[in-house]
Amino acid sequence: MNGRADFRESNAEVPRPVPLIGADYIPTEEERRMFAECNDESFWFRSVPLAATSMLITQGLISKGILSSHPRFGSIPKLIFACIMGYFAGKLSYVRTCQEKFKNLENSPLGEALRSGQTRRSSPPGHYSQKSKYDSNVSGQSSFVTSPAADNIEKEMLPHYEPIPFSASMNESTPTGISDHIAQVKVNKYGDTWDE
């Protein structure tokens, strides 16, 4: 022995760490190929058919008089809008299929992150699917203990704001809870003034 305690069991499975995928992640060559494949397939098999179908339906609705055409540009603006919406609907509809393709990649950090993200979503928040048997036996206690004095200091340091009552009858440009008293001043024909 080298003076260290070895707590590993021979048949214990050690979970692999989940890779952190951020904005600075550089995809592997296989992932780049998969991105290109997903982009092409989503364009040709989803975006083009949905854009064409939405344009045909829009043109049909315009010719039947259900939708009105623009006085100057005709049906072009509505057709362009339908085409753009069909394009994005096609791209969005292919996201799950593309995610499944990435999950099926063998040596892909991105695929591993997607696979582990799926297991995290299926369990309730704050729950880990695998507990270590070397965790402490103390349950329900936090390693963080605050005293009532610390709570009082925190409450004293934070500013206390009074909520302004809401009134639906007031104009939204004037805040409720604040009243301006404007004195009515009367002037007679001699120029004398008095408050009312």
- Which pLDDT score is estimated for 115? 87
What domain count does the chain have? 1
88 belongs to a structural domain: yes
Distance CA(107)–CA(122), nearest Å, equals 23
175 belongs to a structural domain: no
9 belongs to a structural domain: no
45 belongs to a structural domain: yes
Beta strand pairing status for 193-195 and 185-187?
A: antiparallel
- Which pLDDT score is estimated for 141? 46
C-beta of residue 30 within 8 angstroms of C-beta of residue 105: yes
Average pLDDT per consecutive 10 residues, the chain (196 residues; last block may be shorter): 54 58 87 95 97 97 95 96 97 95 91 76 46 45 49 59 60 56 70 72
115 belongs to a structural domain: no
53 belongs to a structural domain: yes
Closest CA to 154 of 146, 162, 166, 144: 146
- Which pLDDT score is estimated for 129? 44
Q: Amino acid identity, residue 10?
A: S
Q: What range does the domain containing 71 cover?
A: 30-109
- Which pLDDT score is estimated for 184? 66
* Structure tokens belonging to residue 55: 């344009």
Distance CA(32)–CA(189), nearest Å, equals 88
95 belongs to a structural domain: yes
52 belongs to a structural domain: yes
> What are the residue ranges of helices labelled H in the chain?
29-42, 48-63, 76-93, 95-103, 109-122, 148-157
Cα dihedral across residues 174, 180, 181, 185: positive or negative: negative
